[in-house]
Amino acid sequence: MPLKSKPAGRLISFEGSEGSGKSTQISLLAAHLQKLGKEVITTREPGGTEIGEQIRNIIVHNSKGDEMCPETELLLFTAARAQVVREVIVPALIAGKFVLSDRYLDSSTVYQGIARNLAADPVAQINRFAVGNVMPDITVIIDVPTEVSIARLKQRVTDLPDRMERENIDFYNKVREGYLLLAKNMTDRVILVDGTKPIAQVAKAIWEHVQLRLGL
Ligand code: TYD
């Protein structure tokens, strides 16, 4: 279902490296918005739908995943996104809800385009095809240095690190640089926050920006 006109709802995407604190900040922003009486849903990429979860499994946990080529990875991530946009995001926006998305198209731009070196034009085109005209009203990029990101990842109580998390430090440095570049080039929709600050301070910076930008 494409969007024919500007919907009543708002889409806010969260981006950043692993361990940058996206999910914590999404919960805090959701609570803040709900206190104002707004209806909020959260979605996560690349899952969020049954089809998306199946695609996510192929990408993240496939035992042969290390051999997946970047082009396949891009198409799988964007396929999952195409589904969540039409199945979940658009209906919610039309119903006037706030949609908080844990990752969106900028993850493909940065992880597959910049970190995995796929050419920028096809990545942008495929991303556009996947999301249609459903662009975020605001994108929050939470920046943390690579060492902080890796240290936080190690503290997570998980079993084996998944495929993406086994990437080396160069890869994560490229991811970070990619996000910083986006923040510099897309000031109309991106807000960059320092994820090394205390949680409450990061939340306050995000809230002030959202309030101002959306006139809440
Ligand atoms: P996930 O466990 O959701 O990580 P996180 O909690 O950091 O969001 O795994 C998603 C992984 O997939 C993460 O390493 C980023 C990567 N990814 C891409 O490479 N491209 C994409 O388009 C998306 C949505 C995620």
Interval 24-59: pLDDT, tens: 999 999 999 999 999 999 999 877 899 999 999 888
Q: Output the six-digit token pair for 175.
A: 């991811």
pLDDT at 157: 57
Q: Is the CB of 101 under 6 A from ligand 1?
A: no
Q: What percent of the chain has pLDDT over 70?
A: 92
Q: Is the CB of 174 under 6 A from ligand 1?
A: no
Q: How far is the CA of 37 from the centre of ligand 1 (A)?
A: 30
- Out of 47-56, 57-66, 108-117, 186-195, which region has the weakest mean confidence (pLDDT)? 57-66
Label residue 50 exposed, middle or buried (CB < 10 Å: 0-12, 13-18, 19+): exposed
Q: Is the CB of 143 under 6 A from ligand 1?
A: no
pLDDT at 46: 79
Q: Which residue from 108, 139, 144 is spatially nearest to 126, judged by alpha carbons?
A: 108
Q: What is the mean pLDDT of residues 135-153?
A: 93
Q: How far is the CA of 56 from the centre of ligand 1 (A)?
A: 9
pTM: 0.93
User: 124, 185 in Cβ contact below 8 A?
Assistant: no
Residue nearest ligand 1's atom 13 by CA: 164
Q: At residue 81, does pLDDT exceed 70?
A: yes
Q: pLDDT category, 188, cuts 50, 70, 90?
A: very high
Residue nearest ligand 1's atom 4 by CA: 18
Q: Is the CB of 109 under 6 A from ligand 1?
A: no
User: 180, 47 in Cβ contact below 8 A?
Assistant: no
Q: Which residue from 153, 151, 130 is spatially nearest to 45, judged by alpha carbons?
A: 130
Q: What percent of the chain has pLDDT over 90?
A: 76
Q: Which atom of ligand 1 is nearest to the CA of 164?
A: 14
Q: Is the CB of 77 under 6 A from ligand 1?
A: yes
